[in-house]
Every structure is written in C-alpha cells, then in structure tokens.
Structure 1
Amino acid sequence: MKTTAQSALVPAGNTALTLGFSGNLGNIEAYISAVNRIPMLTHEEETSYARQFRENNDLAAAQKLVMSHLRLVVSIARGYLGYGLPHADLIQEGNIGLMKAVKRFDPDQGVRLVSYAMHWIKAEMHEYILKNWRLVKVATTKAQRKLFFNLRSHKEGLDAMTPTQVDELARTLNVKREEVIEMETRMSGHDIALDAPSDDEDDKFAPIAYLSSEASEPTKELEARQYDRLQSEGLEAALGRLDARSRRIVEARWLANDDGSGATLHELADEFGVSAERIRQIESAALKKMKSALASYA
C-alpha cells in the first residue's frame, strides 16, 4: 500500500512500514534492502527540506526527510531484537518516532536530524517494549529503566551473571550492585501483568506509569544542551567583549561566588577611585553588551 506524506507524518493503522514504497515488498528483508538503497541527504538538502516543511507545510519535503532516515530506524531496531519481539514491529514503532521527530525538527537549532531523531525513535521502541514485556514493576526508576535496556546486552548467554560481571555493570551504569541483581532476577522470573489492577494502590508504581519522562524528551534535552553551551562558551565570549575594568566589575559583582554574594558597588568604587553610581553605570553598560553577545547563543 502506498502512503502519502500526510499519512507518513500522521500514521494510521499499520501503514508505517510502507512509507511511500510502491509495489509489494514481500517481507522484512525486502523492506530493509529497499531502505538501504535510499540515498542519504546532504546537510544542505536536509536543511532546505526541513525549512520547506516547517515554513510552508510542504509534505513532500517532509517525506524526503523521513525516507532518507529509514535506515537509521532499521539500525536502531536491530539492537532491540533480544527482547523477543518481531523485527517488523520494532521498525514500525521506530518509524512512528521518526515521523514525530521530523514534525518537530527545527533546522536552525544547529543539530542534524539524525541526532535529533534518534531520541524519538528509541523512545517509541522503548514504550513498545515496555508495553509488551510483561514483568510487574520492571522499571520504576530512571536507573532501573537504564538497567532494563542494558542488562541483556551485558549478559553472556542465559546463565546468571557472575559477581565480577555484576560489579562491572553496576559501575558502568552508575547504579548499586543490588539493583543489578534485583533486575536480573525480575527478568528471569515468570511473566506478570504490566499494569497493576486499577483498584489497587500499586497501580501508581506499575511500569505503565513510567513509559515517558519529561526530562528525557528530545526538545528538553536540546534546551538543556543549549543552556550548557550558553553557560560555558557563550559566557566566556560575552566577557571577552568587555574592557578590563568592565570585566572586573561584572566578575566581582556576579561571578565571584556561587551563592551570588558578590562585591558591593561601594567596594568597587573604592577599588577604582570613582563613585558607586559610576560603578553602577559601567556595570549596566557591560551587562547590555554581554546580553547582545549572548543573543547568538540563545
């Protein structure tokens, strides 16, 4: 079945795997082979198509972005085959995440679509896996979710992990060794309903309540990354535009102590032999200049 760009961005039913392919692909191997033959976009092409879609709602441009990144979904899905779920289903869920990423992608953020989309693709696959991996309370904290999606790749066969392996994984994931042992025990147990009974207080701790995390939402991650950049190289660049006296005043007033207890206007006035009002004027002008310099990082 051939889908339009509209349906590619707003998938319905089980059409996500086709995504504009014509003819019968036959099986998952044929689909993967077809996907790998689609050429990747250059940075300039990607930016152009993204702006066309963002500014003009050009669905054909959006489909170009989706099609050129289908191989990324296939690659990521391959890493989750150990959970015993159909490869095609994992790819389909990942394709939905890719569509969501394209819909929200801003080419002016300075991030390539491949980096941005990876978070959305994995988020959809994670949700699908958790919905289908029937272990009660399998991942109720961020650390446990990390354990859930890393434990299988670190285990060798079906045998229990050795103490050395447990210690190594706990150190790698920055969790307690007891948590590694507990998660391994859960994953080796019998299947139990993912959702707790609706009339039970335990339902608030069921895995279904932890399928999404606002902190790990791609847009939030990009905002945090941008803020870190503003705090480091942006601040240093802004300070570099000030003369020595202005920089000394700003640093003494605002950057000397973490608790914000910087030098007073009168202390700096005595240091430079001018009035406190003059120090305030220099500080105000310096902050305005810094604000202008930081605009390019916002």
Structure 2
Amino acid sequence: MMTLKSTREIEAMERASKVLTSIHVALRDLIKPGLDMWEIEEFVRRRCKEENVLPLQIGVDGSVMDYPYATCCGLNDEVAHAFPRHYMLQEGDLLKVDMVLSEPLDKSVVDVAKLDFDNVAQMKQYTQSYKGGVADSCWAYAVGQVSEEVKDLMAVTRECLYKGIEQAVVGNRLGDIGAAIQDYAESRGYGVVRDLVGHGVGPTMHEEPMVPHYGVAGRGLRLREGMVLTIEPMINTGTWEIDTDLKTGWAHKTLDGGLSCQYEHQFVVTKDGPKILTSQGEERTY
C-alpha cells in the first residue's frame, strides 16, 4: 500500500540516510585495486554496529534463499543483488555497492553490536519486523583507472538518475520519470533494465508504488507531496535483458555479458520539488 509520509517519518529517514551516505563517502577511499571485495562487507558491518543501525538487507525473502549480507556488490556485468565475496579488485573494474539501513536505534531496544550478522534467521527477526526510518542507496565506484567505456557508462547512468529525479514533481506521473531515463539512455545507445525498478520507501524497505526506469510520459500514477521514492536506473552497454543466478536466486547479470552500472537515490516529493535524502553532499540536491 502506498502512503504519504509525515514530517516525523521523513526526519527518521533523514537520520538513516546520514549514516548510509557517510559510509558511501568513506568507500571512496577504501575501494582500490588489490582490495578484497569482502572487506567492503566487513567495513559496512562494523559501521552498522558502531552506529547501532540494522543492515536491513539481511534476511530479505528470496526465491531460493534469504539474502545473507549487509551489502550487494555488483562487479562489471553484474546488474544487481550480487553477493559480496572474496575477490581482489582489479584495475579497471566497475563496482556497484548497494545497502539499506535503519535509522540509529536505542540500544535498550536492540544492541546491534551484539547481533550475529551471519545468523540470518536471527537477523531476520529484527530486520523483517522493523518499521521506522529507512535509507536505501546504491553507488558506483571506478576501481583505479578505468576505460573510456566504463567512464561513459558511469556518466550516462548518473545523468539518468538525475533526469529521473527532475521529473519527480507534484502533478507529474510515474511515466514521466521512466520516459526521461529511457529516452536519455537509449539516445546514447544503452539498454535500460526493465526487470528491476525503483520503489516507495518507508516504513519498510519496499513499498508501493513501483517506479520503472522506462515508460511513456504522461502515463501512470500521479505524484503527490509526501511520497518517498527511490530511483535506481540500471543501465547496460548492450541489451537491457538480464539473467539470474538460479543457484541462489539473487545475482542478476547482463544477458550478453556487457557492462552494467547503477546509481540510486532516495528522495521525498515536496511542493517545492524533489528533496534528495541520500545526497552525499556533492550531487545536485534540488
């Protein structure tokens, strides 16, 4: 069910976003050639325990297994929902890191430092029952010096993100967001993933409405003040089609082996335009 968020709910999401964005900023210095990708997961887990926030991705229901990690780490042709793992990052890799966090919690309610993040069943009792401030954002990172192909893909994907957000004004429709993203990406020869979309946020991770990154302008649900949404375009160098790892039911890859990039912001629709909650301080904030 779609709900319009109160000032109190938005403030709670701002508190969650402050922690999440500080982690993304810190990853800029951490991610480099020779880093074991698993260290990213460990870093995020440490920060969650220090800040007393729940990593809300742990325990998300899956078709084969519940998601077991605090982050999704997609490498090169991996589109989304790929597992962090032991892999030494290589010069020229394109890495996407996605995470969803709660706002800082009262330790009398739950002491996150005492939780066993590897015990997915235990974690699920906390993450799946949580209803409060939520922050959701994915960011792409160039590992060392990358090719012009990677640079161009990152630039176009980031521009797609903001072109979508620009359309998130009161009175516009969801189709205006999708059309702006699709038109820009396809005009530059890229594919826009259709199987995975943005969504509403709060008081849980995934709420209505779904926010496609493709569509027809003037169509779809009309945007209203108080909606909190994510826009998270996944843009591919080749086909928009993707494949899924059937062993786990999670990691999605491009069907043709091409590169994929993703940026994601969470924002609130206000009477004065979209307000980005997960801004890292250097992007357009409207």
TM-score (norm 2): 0.20
Q: Which structure has more RCO (C-alpha within 8 Å, separation ≥ 6)?
A: 2
Q: Which has the higher strand share?
A: 2
Q: Which has the higher helix share?
A: 1
TM-score (norm 1): 0.20
Pick the structure with greater CA Rg. 1
